[in-house]
Structure 1
Amino acid sequence: MPIRRRRRLTTLLVVAVVVLTVLFVALPPDSPVVLAVVFNGGRLRSALSYLGDRDAWLRARARHPVHLASEVGCLIKTGYGTRHRVREQLSAFAVRGGVLGDEGRDYLVVGDWEANGTADSGARAVDAVGLVMRDARLAEMADHERFGKYRSLRTAVEAGDEVRAAELGARFGWELDALKFIMGLELSYKRMPHKKWYIILDDDTFVVKESLELLLSHLDPAKPQYVGNAVGDYRARFAHGGSAVIVSGEAMKMLFGRPDIVRDAYISSLDETWGDRLVATTLQRIGVYIDERYSHYFNGEAPVMTRIRADRVCSPIVSFHGLRKPGAMVHAGRTLGRMRKPVLWGQLWELFGRKPLELYEGQPPAEGDHVGPGEEEVSLWQGIRNAEDCKRRRRQSVWDQLVKGEIYF
């Protein structure tokens, strides 16, 4: 390449970098341009981590030791219709201990009704939705549709009409759930100040003590950090709520140091579909974005439904979601409570598999296999009578993709 042309390209590259830098600094932290740069930069960093051992950093000396029960504030979200899950969740964590500390001081339960006793949920539930409705910052929004729905649920609960309350909860409980996130975080920050970390859990989420401890001990809570199972597009890349959401103490300090942004978040919650996405878009306004390098440690499925992907076999797994059936949460707590080291994705078959993996080395079982709910990488076929039919269809599918040039060997 001629020297003159090379100089022109170098100059253009330098100018482009300078322009992007100026735009990045000048534009609001939640502008589409900034979010696109952050998203693509994060994906690039995540992709580069695949070139080496992306978990090697966890084997280095832990520079930020953490005591989960006393230094991590836990926010548990529930609803009137699912309140029974909390009791089992607390029992599951109590099998091994060390995750939750004292109620009120180290963990908090929020919902869409007030429970002062422990008859149903096993803990006191703070009516976060009611607090949002009565908040002076939202006085002008008192007639919003969601508040009307909340009042309907509260009336049924106070009247002791379990059938009606269950019906209403099933119909629009997910809408009320979106109102719990910001209020739950604010309550957590005010009632459990000075925590190194804050973690949001659904009432059907379980976290592995040793794995969570390992991860947090290698992250600096004095930096604004937001970690979890990343989903969504670049405009609102967020940590999936069911997989556990982690926010550093510094990020919480920054957020609640901006009352204008917090008020806007409350207003947005009245129309937001997903509260976990609202957490992300709110943090974006203070320049805190999800770090995708750690997404593969978080899991949005129940143990028996979890797909063990090849690129995660040797990585620690922090969370499970969807433990809704009676006994499922306690079973997970007892099974994982026997572990004294971080649990790896590759150990899940040994821990939760119904049949030894060796059985699959030969002929497949007569009843075939089930891979779980459909996703992009899962093919669904009709009319499969046995395992041999499935294998035949799979071979044909691979051949078709080879012919079309969609896959290579």
Structure 2
Amino acid sequence: MLRTSLLDLLPRHTKGYLWISFLVAVFLLMALSENGVLVPEALTTFPRTQLEYPEVEYSVQSLSEDSTSPEAEVSTAPASKSEDVLVEVVEAPLAAQEPAKSHDVSTSTGLDPKDVVILVKTGATSIWRRMPAHMSTTLGDPSLTPNVLYYSDCEDNINGNPVIDVLANVSATLKESPDFALYHRAKEVADANLYLESGSMDGDFYLPGGWRLDKYKFLPMFAHVAATMPGKKWYIYMEDDNYYFWETLYAWLATLNHTAPIMVGSPAFRLGEDFAHGGSGFAISGPALAQSFGADPQLAQRWEDYAREQCCGDQVLSHVLHQKGVQRERGLDGGGWAGLQALPTWRIGFGTWNWCSPIMNIHKVHQADISRLHVFEREFKIRNSKKANLPPIRYRDIFQSLALPHLTSTRLEWDNFASARHFSSSSDPDVSSSNSPSSANPNPDPNPSSSWSTKPWFSRDACEQACKDWDLCLSWKYADDSCSLDHTAALGRRIDEGIRMESGWMLDRIGRLEELECEGLEF
């Protein structure tokens, strides 16, 4: 007798529908279980760690203080606390562990940022490689830098920040000069969907001549700001490869007389004239701007011919200001260190001479440097968050955070820029006199290397020993028959020039720098 099940009695298509319904139910249960809907929280065996993100406000900077446009500020809400995330707990960098205490800039520095205008000079060949990083860090903070003007040789707009073509109103005669070839070509490139980024992506395009064009921007920049934003205490000039520590700079400017017609900056010299170095950055007081470009709106045009004959725009500007009775403030000259300086972090020589001195900027920065310096500043503020006022950044702070962690006893194919003392066989008077027959030395040494082995240039070991023998030596480098020593320590960088070079550092002596006590600064 054959057994017949209930399923056997059903039509074939009905059985198909039942199987499909069964499979759908299975998949539905699996999905609900995977998302924790059918699994009680108490039965969950995985440890759960909830990620919390600090609230961050992003805003598009505006020169208008009373802007209420809904596009002016966009806030991002913190992550929902109801969302559990399975993660491995990893200690975050200091800058991400907690928000830095917001010191009131005016109280901490003695200078209200609203009394300052920042003039940023960039160019068509570098603007998209540097300015977005600046605008997303310190130049994007309205509590720190509320008044920023961007000047270039081509009109543009970056994230809502207008970029002014500062050369638009120069004379037609000047625009016809060979120096303006880049100016005209850059506009053609922009209209042709090509990109002046000097990279390796499709569409990248390179134009030479930026340096020749750059010198003409200085005078029109200050003529423009004198006409559009007069009456401020300070006007700070910044190049796009410069990074300012704004609070430290403000604190220093607050100690100076902003009512006097002065210019402040790192000293440079050309044609017998003293002027403020543009790459390091400088500032002009309100009265200095008022009695020059403010009093004479045509000042920039009248000095165009002079600018054509000079190499450098910072020298041209200083020369014109000097003719109007503006002098460079020399209060920080002669100290052996520079608050406004012209080097990147890896090129600065650190030592007792500048250890406790304030530093207000880093020059020759790339995008990565801007990011690293911004993180460094944030961590510096966190470490000093319990202090009433944010202390100025000193050279020691840069060294401890950005140089010391990367120092080792020696590095091959590396240049640490040691240069205070130099030794080479070609400059050693003993070499020619001991190995060449002469009336004074008729019997030269047949094996001179035996007596030269202690010469610093003879070997890397002899060079290192020479550094050890000099009590002040902190670093040395050796290449071929050349030895250099220095009383400072710079991180340096890797080289590949075909000559084997080795650099070394006296880590014990460098460590003793940490024991130096720094006295309080005047600001």
- Give the TM bin, normalised by the shorter chain: 0.5 to 0.7
Q: Tell me, in whole angstroms, the C-alpha distance in 1 between the residues paired with 2:185 and 2:423.
A: 41
TM-score by length of 1: 0.67
- 2:274 aligns to what? 237
Q: Does 1:178 align with 2:206?
A: no
Looking at structure 2, the residues matched to 191 and 386 of structure 1 have their Cα atoms a distance apart, in angstroms, of 63
What is the DSSP-based 3-state SS (H/G/I as helix, E as strand, rest coil) of the residue aligned with 2:377? helix
CA deviation string 1:369-396 (max 9, x = no partner): 7434x87x47597998986353246589
Letter in structure 2 aligned against 1:109: Y
**Unaligned regions of 5+ residues in structure 2, if any?**
1-106, 199-203, 382-389, 426-455, 472-523
User: What is residue 34 of structure 1 aligned with on the other side?
Assistant: none
Contact 2:124 2:152 in 1 (8 A): yes
- Which whole-Å CA distance do the structure 2 matches of 1:261 and 1:82 have between them? 28
* Letter in structure 1 aligned against 2:123: G
Deviations 1:16-38 (A, max 9, x none): xxxxxxxxxxxxxxxxxxxxxxx
**Change over 3 Å in CA distance of 1:262–1:79 after alignment to 2:** closer
In structure 2, give the amino acid aligned to 1:74: I
Q: Against the structure 1 CA distance between its residues 155 and 174, is the aligned structure 2 distance closer, same or farther, given a 3 Å change threshold?
A: same
Contact 2:134 2:140 in 1 (8 A): no
Question: 1:349 maps to which residue?
Answer: 399
How far the C-alpha of 1:249 sits from its partner, in A, is 0.6
Verify the 8 A CA contact 2:166 2:217 in the aligned structure 1.
Answer: yes
Asked if structure 2 preserves the Cα contact closer than 8 Å seen for 1:91 and 1:330, the reply is no
> 1:255, 1:261 within 8 Å by CA — same for their partners in 2?
yes
Measured in 1, the distance between the counterparts of 2:127 and 2:280 equals 19
Per-residue CA deviation, residues 166-196 of structure 1 (Å, 9 max, x unaligned), is 7653x20111111111111112222222111
* 1:341 aligned counterpart, secondary structure: coil
Going from structure 1 to structure 2, the CA distance change for 1:368 and 1:378 (only over 3 Å counts) comes to farther
CA distance in 2, matches of 1:366, 1:331: 23
Alignment correspondent of 1:126? 164
Partner of 1:404: none
CA RMSD, aligned part only? 3.3
Question: How far 1:125 sits from its partner (Å)?
Answer: 1.2
What is the distance in 2 between the residues matched to 1:124 and 1:219? 31
TM-score (norm 2): 0.54
Deviation at 1:113, TM superposition (A): 0.8
Structure 2 counterparts to residues 319-358 of structure 1, below 5 A:
319-324=361-366, 326-337=367-378, 338-339=380-381, 340-355=390-405
Contact 2:280/2:363, CA 8 A, preserved across alignment: yes
Partner of 1:4: none
Distance 1:348 1:354, change over 3 A: same
Shift of 1:98: 3.9
Alpha carbons of 1:153 and 1:211: their partners in 2 closer, same or farther (altered >3 Å)? same
Assess if the C-alpha contact under 8 Å between 1:92 and 1:332 holds in 2: no
Aligned partners of 2:196 and 2:237: how far apart in 1?
A: 29
- The verdict on how the C-alpha distance between 1:140 and 1:341 changes in structure 2, with shifts beyond 3 A counting, is same
The answer as to 2:342 corresponding to 1:300 is yes
SS at match of 1:355: helix
Aligned-pair distance for 1:77? 0.7
Residue aligning to 2:134 = 89
Deviations 1:341-387 (A, max 9, x none): 10111222112124277x7xxxx335497434x87x47597998986
Q: Is contact 1:367–1:386 with CA below 8 Å preserved after alignment?
A: no
Please say which structure displays the higher CA radius of gyration: 2
Q: Is the 8 A contact 2:423 2:457 kept in 1?
A: no
Paired with 2:413 and 2:194, the residues of 1 have a C-alpha distance of 45
Structure 2 matches for 1:52-131, cutoff 5 A? 65-68=110-113, 70-84=114-128, 85-93=130-138, 98-101=143-146, 106-118=147-159, 123-131=161-169
> Match of 1:303, as an amino acid?
T
C-alpha distance in 1 between matches for 2:377 and 2:122: 23
The 8 Å contact of residues 182 and 210 in structure 2, kept in 1 or not, is answered as no
The residue number in structure 2 matching 1:388 is 461
Change (3 A) 1:143 1:290: same
Kindly indicate whether residue 320 of structure 2 is the aligned counterpart of residue 278 of structure 1: no
Counterparts of 1:230 and 1:131, CA distance in 2: 30
Q: How does 1:157-196 map to 2 (within 5 A)?
A: 157-162=190-195, 169=207, 171-196=208-233
Find the residue that maps to 1:348 and give its secondary structure: helix
Distance in 2 (alpha carbons) for counterparts of 1:97 and 1:334: 18
Note closer, same or farther for the CA distance 1:365–1:392 as it changes in structure 2 (3 Å cut): same
Equivalent residue letter for 1:342: P
For residues 384 and 248 of structure 1, do their structure 2 counterparts lie closer, same or farther at Cα, with a shift above 3 Å needed?
same
SS for the counterpart of 1:311 is: coil
Determine which structure has the larger helix proportion and give its number. Answer: 1
Which range is displaced more, 75-84 or 186-195? 186-195
Q: Which ranges of structure 1 fall in alignment gaps of 5 or more residues?
A: 1-61, 133-137, 399-409
8 Å contact kept, 1:116–1:124: yes
Deviation, 1:329, is 0.2
1:280 Cα deviation from its structure 2 partner: 1.0
Q: Which has the higher strand share?
A: 2
